[in-house]
Structure 1
Amino acid sequence: MPTALVTGASSGLGAEFAAQLAARGHDLVLTARSADRLEALAAELRAAHGRRVDVVVQDLAAPGAAGLIAAELEALGRPVDLLVNNAGFGTCGRFEENTAERDRDQLTVNVVALVDLTHAVLPGMLARRSGAVLNVASVAAFQPAPYFAVYASTKAFVLNFSLALRQEYRKRGVRVLALCPGPVETGFFEAIGTRKAAVGRMTTPQQVVRAALRALDRDRPYVTPGLSNLVTAHLAPRRSRNLVATVAERISRKVLDPAV
């Protein structure tokens, strides 16, 4: 059976990826920081779908996190056929008011761990001439985002990294997809500190994951679930970067004032 490694699997999009992949017949390796939630999800998926589900508890902000996960995979004897780099978080507000430590963790989880895990599993996929990497970016990847400066920049990296890898490996048996959703009904906005960070129509994890797996089946380079997100992705790059940043600042400044 194919095995999928899903990061950030304890809730939100990660848990939904796990559920839909199990229903599709994948065995799973789930990783996140929360042991209790991971074990509960794993037990539920084993009972519902009869799949093998292993749990690796790991904080991706910790030094060498990807190497520790790779060692666990080797110990479990689990070659990865699908890597879902879902783990990530955001910050919002004025840049100087966010701590350097928090932004460093954000860069580590959203970018460094994603790249490190891809390094860890890609050689095996190439040797088998089969596999896929699904990286969760954001519609924020298509434009500068004042008051989300670090978050949006990490997602721009994820999008461009994914598109570049797709070109490198599309003729070598490995598919690469960037998922670029708009706001999704998960715990993201509670973690970020305000639901005013949501710009656009809210979608559900079920809708987003279905769209992502359908796009992966079709070997699409990226997918932006929802019509408004598709319009944003395709129109923003055609405008002056400074104009896009100016408009984005007017839209997102509401996160600064709780009274707005």
Structure 2
Amino acid sequence: MKTARGTSPSRMSGKPSTVLVTGASSGLGAEMARQLAAAGHDLALCARRTERLDALRTEILAAHPGRTVLVRALDVDDHDAVFAVVRAFRDDFAALGRTLDRVVVNAGLGKGAPLGTGRFDVNKQTATTNFVSALAQVEAAMEVFRAQDGGHLVVVSSVSAMRGMPKAMTAYAASKAGVAMLAEGLRTELHGKPQFRFTVLHPGYIASEMSGTKEGGSPLMVSTEKGVRSMVAAILAEKKHATVPAWPWVPVGFVLRHAPLGVVRKLV
């Protein structure tokens, strides 16, 4: 790949690429890093907990000695730092003769409380991290992609974003719908320019540290490894939209979008 500003990286489906993953120190982000590395891709990983990032880097390099794994500390709620870290990773790869090919906007929170119950602080924190801080990540990624005339932006939304959700999920679902619309707006703007690709992932119940759930906690829950496997497959196939894992979440998502409110309320 060429690295000069303004040149276009090639389409990356099925080819080794450089992938930046935010929120990579645990849960879905860490497992994405493992599986992307196993598939032959080089990584830029960032999160607040650098000791976990360092341990993950050591683990990945032990399993895949040929991979490049770069790590940096990042609190995505520090928006100036988001831009600085993305630019630094871009420069790190440029020094290796590479471009920054993919950015996965993964960092997020799962907190929430029913609106009007005195916990605006919790809902504000979720909205800030899941939407405003995601906006900063999207802006920083697109700054790089526009300069190099191409790239693949991946945003992690949620099945809950398909319909307004009640109680503790209301602000969370709204924030995840918002981040999906950032990618959709860019897709519309850059339609006809295939060097820019956008993927919106809608995960269902996947066991993770963020969700505070373990496999077996719900009949619909899948393991982190299985859930992330479907996420990574969608990323590498550069799907525009993917409800993951497909079973049972494609039919559940259809019900969420189209069922009467009374049915939706009972489901969640």
1:258 aligned residue: none
User: How much does 1:45 deviate?
Assistant: 1.1
1:49 aligned residue: 64
- Correspondent of 2:222 among 195, 200, 203: 203
Aligned length: 243
1:157 aligned residue: 178
1:235 aligned residue: 255
Equivalent-residue separation in structure 2 for 1:145 and 1:40 (angstroms): 37
2:26 aligned residue: 11
**For structure 1, which runs of at least 5 residues remain unmatched after alignment?**
253-260
User: How much does 1:12 deviate?
Assistant: 1.0
Taking structure 2 as the reference length, what is the TM-score of the superposition? Answer: 0.80
Taking structure 1 as the reference length, what is the TM-score of the superposition? Answer: 0.82
2:121 aligned residue: 101
Q: Which runs of 4+ in 1 moved over 4 A?
A: none
Equivalent-residue separation in structure 2 for 1:49 and 1:55 (angstroms): 16
| Residue 176 in structure 1 maps to residue 191 in structure 2 | no
The root-mean-square deviation of aligned C-alpha atoms, in Å, is 2.4
Higher helix share: 1
- Is the 8 Å Cα contact of residues 25 and 46 (structure 2) preserved in structure 1? yes
User: How much does 1:98 deviate?
Assistant: 5.9
CA shift digits 1:33-64 (9 cap, x unpaired)? 11111110011112221212111111112343
User: How much does 1:16 deviate?
Assistant: 1.0
Whichever residue aligns with residue 229 of structure 2, its letter is: R
Equivalent-residue separation in structure 2 for 1:63 and 1:114 (angstroms): 9
CA shift digits 1:150-196 (9 cap, x unpaired)? 00101111223323323333532121111111111111232xxx78x
Equivalent-residue separation in structure 1 for 2:150 and 2:229 (angstroms): 22
| Residue 114 in structure 1 maps to residue 134 in structure 2 | yes
Whichever residue aligns with residue 55 of structure 1, its letter is: V
**For structure 2, which runs of at least 5 residues remain unmatched after alignment?**
1-15
| Residue 64 in structure 1 maps to residue 64 in structure 2 | no
Moved more, 118-127 or 22-31: 118-127
- Is the 8 Å Cα contact of residues 166 and 177 (structure 1) preserved in structure 2? no
- Is the 8 Å Cα contact of residues 138 and 181 (structure 1) preserved in structure 2? yes
Structure 2 CA distance for partners of 1:234 and 1:100, relative to 1, 3 Å: same
Whichever residue aligns with residue 167 of structure 1, its letter is: T
Equivalent-residue separation in structure 1 for 2:219 and 2:181 (angstroms): 23
